[in-house]
Structure 1
Amino acid sequence: MTVALAAVVAPFIVGVPAASAASADDITWSVTPADESGADDRGVIQQELDPGASRADFLAVRNLSRTEVTFALSAADGYYTDNGRFNMLPSDKESVDAGLWIDLPDSVTVGPNGTVVVPFTTTVPEGALPGDHAAGIAASVSSTGTDAGGSEVGVESRVGFRVMTRVTGDIVPSYSVSGVESRYDLSWNPFRPGSANTSFTVENTGNASLLVTGTTTIGTGAAVFPIDGAPRQELLPGESRSFTVAVADVWPTFFVPGSIDLTPTASDLGGDAVDVAPQSADASLWALPVPQLLVLLGVLLVVAALFWRRRRFTAALDRAREEGRLAASDSAAASDAELSSAATQGRADPAGTAPAEERR
């Protein structure tokens, strides 16, 4: 059974002169912008046109295989994937924008190890909106394969490049930030800070492409995005993308202030910067310092135990002193009683009670 055509799209190469891919039959090819004589050093075609204007350009298809190959040629609306890489709509999706503006042959046949230059034309409709419009041009081959269920499927392999058309008029870069959520990840080591993850969505609400950059600050930690080595995060007009930024070295202080500071950039076709206003969004969070509170509780328990022991020792010492004082008082009273008794006996015979011998 043959299943509807499935598209396998090779990555579009941005900023390098060529892209290549291999089909199931080991067909290898590249597609690049070109002039009349052959491939040039452009990786992306960038052009600025008035509504109703046209521009002629060229592409070069190079067949790196040992056999002659007929490549299907196509143009379609372009977009950026969630990871920031450029792609074009698959062949089973209809274009509604710049992909319809490009007129080129349906196919081209290229001999083994040969290159053919193909002309094409971009025509901007009269009512086109000012701003940036993206499309892709690709050369493709089709083959058949088998899916996981054993059914036969058609596979389209494509290689291509970007065509960025800026329609003249008022260029207004703008954007919005929404869906901000921050989450704290606790470190159970009370002497080490935890981390935070902040998620948010940026939407390009203007008519110029934006390169999204910024910094997320949470409490004592901060992180830039995108990180070094990550793909550029470019947004076409109308596109939105969700980001998650990890911020390390964040101490839990109950309420942890935070912010997302966006500093996107835009440029004209000459590479000169176009002013884009920075924007901040609140990213504060609550973080209970559980390990630190447990340590504090332990310290308080130790202090309380020492204080209790000291009170017991002081009370015992006071009792011993009181008992000693009482014992000393009782001993002194007993001594006084004995002395008083002896004195009483010494005064018991009054005058006239002398012994009989003396009375004679």
Structure 2
Amino acid sequence: MTTSRSRGALARLAVLHAVGVTLLAAMVAFATPSHADTTWSVVPANADGPDGRSVIDLELAGGQQVVEHVAVINRSTQPVDFAIDANDGYLTSKGYFDMRPSDATPTDGGAWIQVPEKVTIAAGATSVVPVTVSIPQNATPGDHPAGVTASLETISGQVRVQNRVGVRLNIRVTGDYVTKVAVTDVRAEYTGSWNPFAAGSVEVTYTVANVGNVRLVTDNRVLTSTFVGQSSWSDPSAAKARELMPGGSRTFVARVPGAWPLGPIGTTVTAIPSPTGKPLPGVTAERVAIDTTVWAPPWPQLGLLALLVLAFLAIRLITARRRRRIEKLIMLASRGAPQEA
């Protein structure tokens, strides 16, 4: 996959979603140094060149070291000096992979990566850059996301812009893997209809946090129940396939239709986690369910009932008045008195 950006824009890391696994795609950035278009891409590689991977997956024990490679491809018509850097990876609030700025000091997986500071690539040429990953002896088990970028600084007026293009590294340290999530901040709010014959809906806001040490995706489900029945919701969007990094969290909003305002509505939020990346035999991820209750007074139905009661009383009153008038007319007729019109 390729992408391009106009002058002054930051080329960011892109994400592919396939079979529930998030992959960092090969990218092409667009910049404009020296009034000439410069495009380049960065892809995983072996020592001979690009190897067809979209992301670099590593599973190493503490103390191990491995040399990987990325290929930087200069697609422009002039030689270019690219800065190479490695840093920690993270997920944005929408679940997309990104990297910390190049001037930020890495503190996790990015700190374990050594790359050359720069590389000069001739026009139309490809340079294979070695990426040395050294796992500390005391590294904690689990996932430590990182990335490697090739960047180019450009000047636009008084503004200096750094365009970065990179490859994602999924670094997993072997050991005791923990697949666990927590559901917090569950809030439910009922929205009713003034039509007494129409059901309302329950909007549920909740946060799912990855409190384990490996990447997870969660299948989130919401169930509402009253004494007359149940309504359920499951996330139909692609968002449910986006990862949660260890220590990360994401807030979701679900709207469950078909909820009748009949007093208390029980709401259950269930998160069903599953690990992403390489399968983890023998490691199970338990589902987590949290309950809450929202009150839904049946105001439209009570209003309809009040109208029916008033209508019934009005009909009875009118009927009683007519009966009394008829009885009076009959009584007057029996006495031979003139009848009033």
Distance 1:91 1:7 in 2: 16
- 1:188 is matched with which residue? 194
Q: Which 10-residue stretch deviates more, 73-82 or 35-44?
A: 35-44
Q: Which 10-residue stretch deviates more, 280-289 or 57-66?
A: 280-289
User: Which residue identity is paired with 2:115?
Assistant: L
Larger radius of gyration: 1
User: Within 5 Å, which residues of 2 pair with 1:51-130?
Assistant: 51-130=62-141
- 2:50 is matched with which residue? 39
Q: Aligned-pair distance for 1:303?
A: 1.9
SS at match of 1:263: strand
C-alpha change, 1:160 and 1:272, in structure 2 (3 Å) is: farther
Distance 1:144 1:66 in 2: 19
Distance 2:333 2:102 in 1: 106
Q: Aligned-pair distance for 1:321?
A: 4.5
SS at match of 2:273: coil
Q: 1:18 aligns with which of 13, 17, 26?
A: 26
Q: Aligned-pair distance for 1:301?
A: 2.1
C-alpha change, 1:166 and 1:189, in structure 2 (3 Å) is: same
Distance 1:301 1:273 in 2: 67
Q: What whole-Å deviation, never above 9, does each CA across 1:69-103 have from its counterpart, x for those lacking one?
A: 11111111111110000011112322111100011
C-alpha change, 1:238 and 1:135, in structure 2 (3 Å) is: same
**Preserved contact between residue 143 and residue 154 of structure 1 (Cα < 8 Å):** yes
Q: Percent identity?
A: 35
User: Which residue identity is paired with 2:209?
Assistant: E
Distance 1:244 1:180 in 2: 10
SS at match of 1:211: strand
- 1:237 is matched with which residue? 246
Alignment of 1:209 with 2:215, yes or no, is yes
Alignment of 1:255 with 2:264, yes or no, is yes
SS at match of 1:127: coil
Distance 1:118 1:217 in 2: 51
**Preserved contact between residue 14 and residue 25 of structure 2 (Cα < 8 Å):** no
SS at match of 2:10: strand
Alignment of 1:285 with 2:294, yes or no, is yes
**Preserved contact between residue 144 and residue 154 of structure 1 (Cα < 8 Å):** yes
Q: 1:173 aligns with which of 172, 179, 186?
A: 179
| Number of equivalent positions | 317
Q: What whole-Å deviation, never above 9, does each CA across 1:179-223 have from its counterpart, x for those lacking one?
A: 111122233333332222211111211111111221112344332
Q: What whole-Å deviation, never above 9, does each CA across 1:145-183 have from its counterpart, x for those lacking one?
A: 35xxxxx22211111121111111111111211111112
Distance 2:254 2:318 in 1: 51
Alpha-carbon RMSD: 2.4
Q: Aligned-pair distance for 1:305?
A: 1.4
Alignment of 1:141 with 2:152, yes or no, is yes
**Preserved contact between residue 217 and residue 240 of structure 2 (Cα < 8 Å):** no
**Preserved contact between residue 24 and residue 97 of structure 2 (Cα < 8 Å):** no
Alignment of 1:224 with 2:231, yes or no, is no
User: Which residue identity is paired with 2:304?
Assistant: V
C-alpha change, 1:207 and 1:138, in structure 2 (3 Å) is: same
C-alpha change, 1:189 and 1:166, in structure 2 (3 Å) is: same
Q: Aligned-pair distance for 1:311?
A: 2.0
Q: What whole-Å deviation, never above 9, does each CA across 1:30-78 have from its counterpart, x for those lacking one?
A: 1111112211221111111111110111101112222221111111111
**Preserved contact between residue 77 and residue 89 of structure 1 (Cα < 8 Å):** yes
Distance 1:268 1:155 in 2: 34
**Preserved contact between residue 197 and residue 244 of structure 1 (Cα < 8 Å):** yes
Alignment of 1:246 with 2:255, yes or no, is yes
C-alpha change, 1:65 and 1:292, in structure 2 (3 Å) is: farther
SS at match of 2:325: helix
C-alpha change, 1:289 and 1:87, in structure 2 (3 Å) is: same
User: Which residue identity is paired with 2:175?
Assistant: G
Query: Any unmatched runs of 5+ in structure 2?
Result: 1-7, 17-22
- 2:162 is matched with which residue? 156
Higher strand share: 2
**Preserved contact between residue 181 and residue 283 of structure 1 (Cα < 8 Å):** yes
User: Which residue identity is paired with 2:28?
Assistant: S
Q: What whole-Å deviation, never above 9, does each CA across 1:268-323 have from its counterpart, x for those lacking one?
A: 62476842101111143122333333333322222221122122223333444555
Q: What whole-Å deviation, never above 9, does each CA across 1:99-145 have from its counterpart, x for those lacking one?
A: 00011111122222221111111000011111111111111111123
Q: 1:310 aligns with which of 319, 332, 339?
A: 319
